[in-house]
Amino acid sequence: MIFALVGNQNCGKTTLFNCLTGANQRVGNFPGVTVEQKVGVIKGTKDCSVVDLPGIYSIRPYSNEEIITRDFILNEKPDGIINILDATNIERNLYLTLQLLELRIPTVVVLNMMDEVRGNGGTINIKKMSERLGVPVVPISAAKNEGISELVDQIIHVAKNKIKPKVTDFCAYGPVHRCIHAVTHLIADHADACGISARFAAIKLIEGDAYYAEKLRLNKNELEMIEHSVIEMENEEGLDRNAALANMRYSFIEAVCAETVVKGRESKERLRSIKIDNVLTNKYLALPIFLSVMFLIFWLTFNVIGGFLSDRLSEGIEIMIGLADKALDNYGINPVVHSLVIDGVLTGVGNVLSFLPIIVTLFFFLSILEDTGYMARVAFVMDKLLRKIGLSGKSFVPMLIGFGCSVPAFMSTRTLTSERDRKLTILLVPYMSCSAKIPIYAVFSAAFFPEHRAMVMIGLYLIGIVLGIGFALVMKHTIFQGKPIPFVMELPNYRMPSPRSVLLLMWEKAKDFIERAFTIIFLATIVIWFLQKFDIRLNEVSDSADSILAHIGRLLAPIFTPLGFGDWRAATALICGFSAKEAVVSTLSVLLDINAGQMGEGLSQMFTPLAAFSFLLFTLLYTPCMAAVATIRRELNSGVKTFAVVIMQCFIAWLVAFVFYQIGSLFV
């Protein structure tokens, strides 16, 4: 059996999914964490799976995530629906519940965060609410793992016995009631043939949803009769069709809550959040506070904690490579194999792995900010600024995710309801420097700017943001003219960070980094080693300048000469960066035949400080890795547009680095 887990954003849906399946999905304290469906097997059951669908407020699809949820429920036909509600905000959450009940699919309503309701002195009459809604209602606390076993028993019972909702008629009289029943009778045969609830389809047609008119294959006469009924309802009700349906649902919700819910006092968490927001979202203080927080995080990451741990790990890797080198010498292994293992694999992969502590430390701090609910406030604060460049605050979430990895950032643009905003946000995400570029920044800043490492790092991130803003302004007045979508976002209460959630995100980033090091980067270092070890006749060379790689690099080097780094090794490293940005560091270490501790000495022979920063600017801005490009292709659904994005990104990177180097050369 398959169950669909459906609920509003930020109601604890992913936390419940983890409780049910034992999965370790990422849980964040801001809306939009789930951007695609996740599937897991329910613990303690046989062949029972649950699908975690994106958080939505209505089945009426405005955004891609709502389309994902609607299509799954209608097309995949799950055996049951687990509808999770935030019990502390039950009126708003019940709006989606009423829409789900109209689907006539076995459903269980789950009241999450009941511990908070009780803590605030409130109560909910579960039995009475179950009677009024016509479905089982189960109180739980997903965060504390309370009520989960009772929920599992209930959903299996409902699905096995195919117990459908008993109540779907939310008004027993009036114009809306008559209109719904008239349309339901008119399209009943069509709905049965399609396997859709006739009442649900009728309401969608009343709302003017063309998707269902096409799906039900209604003829012109039937559509005219439906429109006549709707116009008659609007005239009698004095409201347009959508307002009339919303009024019907909210009237029913108010009646149910009046009978079943006793509201408690305003929670301590809410009162505390209001006080904190008076400072953190202040008109004048919000942006300086955010920049100060990010500066502190970067300073601790690159200069204090992460930098210290990275240096220690680098020393350990050097010792291990030295021991391996000695062991292979003692064994008398073939010199070519010896070079492959030491100069290729261990040096290339080891140099990348030495930056693992920096990445883990950075995401430790970012996870804390996200878990507390602060990042939702930042999106709120950024809305006013983003509107000036043609976007809304909702675009901030994908851009923020882009600082971690571009792939999920591109995918998270599905939460944007406007196609214009979605495409423009996709074009802006590459300007947000992803974590894969951190090893490049760390190596070059340590080699050329050791006294100002944190400032260089922050500067690169800010340059990316500023250039992204400039690019957006150009797009706003040319290709993407129009107004951004309205921005509505729930601000969750501030909460203490969950140690499990923070550690989980750190583990995910570490795991992803290590997997890339031993897959993409491992293969890349072997290929690079081979190409720089042999000439075009496959004879071993004593000088890598005579190698296959050198010939390829020399063909490309003239492109980068005006940028200050015309060395063929730099060109080769950038090309390898297309596979994974970390490969830039591993490629340079293989080509220079040095370990992490000597990178600065080797790089100083290739770059001047001015050329080094020009190189950093190019790596900051040129096209993301192939996995990200493939994701752009999927999200834009166009190979031509994707190719144009890649070319444009490379051109902008070249142009910015060129302007910087040429102007800088005048003063050096």
- How do residues 444-462 score in pLDDT, each as one tens digit? 988 898 888 888 888 998 8
130 pLDDT tier (thresholds 50, 70, 90): very high
CA separation for the pair 99, 420 (Å, rounded): 28
List 2's β-bridge partners, or say none: 49
Main-chain dihedrals φ then ψ at residue 333, nearest 5 degrees: -70, 160
Q: Which residues contact 633 (CB under 8 A, 6 or more apart)?
A: 639, 642
CA separation for the pair 138, 158 (Å, rounded): 12
Segment 225-267, tens digit of pLDDT: 999 999 999 999 898 998 999 999 999 999 999 999 998 887 7
Please say whether the beta carbons of 248 and 181 come within 8 A.
no
Q: What pLDDT, on a 0 to 100 scale, did the predictor assign at position 30? A: 47
The two tokens of residue 515 are 């997997």
Please say whether the beta carbons of 375 and 492 come within 8 A.
no
3-state secondary structure of 80: strand
Whose tokens are 């680098």? That residue is 314
Question: Residue 208 region, left (φ>0) first, then alpha (ψ -120 to 50), else beta?
Answer: left
Q: What pLDDT, on a 0 to 100 scale, did the predictor assign at position 62? A: 65
Please say whether the beta carbons of 616 and 460 come within 8 A.
yes
CA separation for the pair 208, 219 (Å, rounded): 15
CA separation for the pair 207, 184 (Å, rounded): 13
Q: Which alpha helices (H) appear in 82-174, and where do they start and end?
A: 90-101, 114-119, 126-133, 148-160
Please say whether the beta carbons of 217 and 210 come within 8 A.
no
**Residue range 613-635: mean pLDDT, rounded:** 88
HEC string for 507-533: HHHHHHHHHHHCCHHHHHHHHHHHHHH
* Better-scored residue on pLDDT, 358 or 238: 238
Burial tier of 89 (Cβ tally within 10 Å: 0-12, 13-18, 19+): middle
CA separation for the pair 54, 5 (Å, rounded): 9
Please say whether the beta carbons of 553 and 569 come within 8 A.
yes
Element housing 301 (H / E): none
**Delimiting residues of CATH 1.10.287.1770 domain(s) in the chain:** 175-262
Q: What pLDDT, on a 0 to 100 scale, did the predictor assign at position 417? A: 67
Q: What pLDDT, on a 0 to 100 scale, did the predictor assign at position 513? A: 76
What is the identity of the amino acid at 369?
L
Sign of torsion over alpha carbons 147, 148, 150, 155: positive
The two tokens of residue 506 are 């750190």
CATH number of 2-160: 3.40.50.300
What is the identity of the amino acid at 164?
K
Q: What pLDDT, on a 0 to 100 scale, did the predictor assign at position 127? A: 94
pLDDT at 189 over 70: yes
Q: What angle do CA 261, 266, 270 make, to 5 degrees?
A: 125
Question: Residue 26 region, left (φ>0) first, then alpha (ψ -120 to 50), else beta?
Answer: beta
Whose tokens are 């904190």? That residue is 276
Distances, alpha carbon 380 to alpha carbons 90, 212, 280, 366, 567, in Å = 23, 35, 11, 17, 46
Q: What pLDDT, on a 0 to 100 scale, did the predictor assign at position 29? A: 45
Domain 175-262 has CATH 3.30.429.10: no
Main-chain dihedrals φ then ψ at residue 555, nearest 5 degrees: -65, -35
Distance of CA 326 to the CA centre of its chain: 45
523 pLDDT tier (thresholds 50, 70, 90): confident
**Delimiting residues of CATH 3.40.50.300 domain(s) in the chain:** 2-160
Task: Give the helix, strand, coil percentages of the chain, each rounded to 5.
Answer: 70, 5, 25
**Residue range 178-194: mean pLDDT, rounded:** 90
Percent above pLDDT 90 for the chain? 28
Distances, alpha carbon 280 to alpha carbons 204, 299, 374, 378, 384, in Å = 42, 21, 9, 9, 15
* Better-scored residue on pLDDT, 139 or 591: 139
Q: What pLDDT, on a 0 to 100 scale, did the predictor assign at position 487? A: 66
* Better-scored residue on pLDDT, 99 or 379: 99
What is the identity of the amino acid at 512?
D
CA separation for the pair 236, 157 (Å, rounded): 43
The two tokens of residue 554 are 């020399």
Segment 27-55, tens digit of pLDDT: 544 445 455 567 888 988 878 899 988 88
pLDDT at 14 over 50: yes
Element housing 597 (H / E): none
Please say whether the beta carbons of 260 and 139 come within 8 A.
no
Segment 387-429, tens digit of pLDDT: 888 887 778 778 877 887 787 778 778 767 677 888 888 999 9
pLDDT at 471 over 80: yes
- The chain-wide mean pLDDT, for the chain, equals 85
pLDDT at 558 over 70: yes
If you average pLDDT over each of 157-171, 507-521, 611-625, which comes out highest?
Answer: 611-625
pLDDT at 26 over 60: no
Q: What pLDDT, on a 0 to 100 scale, did the predictor assign at position 648? A: 93
The two tokens of residue 491 are 């601000």
Q: What pLDDT, on a 0 to 100 scale, did the predictor assign at position 196? A: 85
Main-chain dihedrals φ then ψ at residue 81, nearest 5 degrees: -115, 130
* Better-scored residue on pLDDT, 594 or 142: 142
Sign of torsion over alpha carbons 531, 535, 539, 543: negative
List 77's β-bridge partners, or say none: none
Q: What pLDDT, on a 0 to 100 scale, did the predictor assign at position 485? A: 66
**Residue range 10-18: mean pLDDT, rounded:** 85
Q: What pLDDT, on a 0 to 100 scale, did the predictor assign at position 552? A: 86
Please say whether the beta carbons of 148 and 110 come within 8 A.
no
Please say whether the beta carbons of 141 and 114 come within 8 A.
yes
List 85's β-bridge partners, or say none: 111
3-state secondary structure of 483: coil
CA separation for the pair 653, 437 (Å, rounded): 14
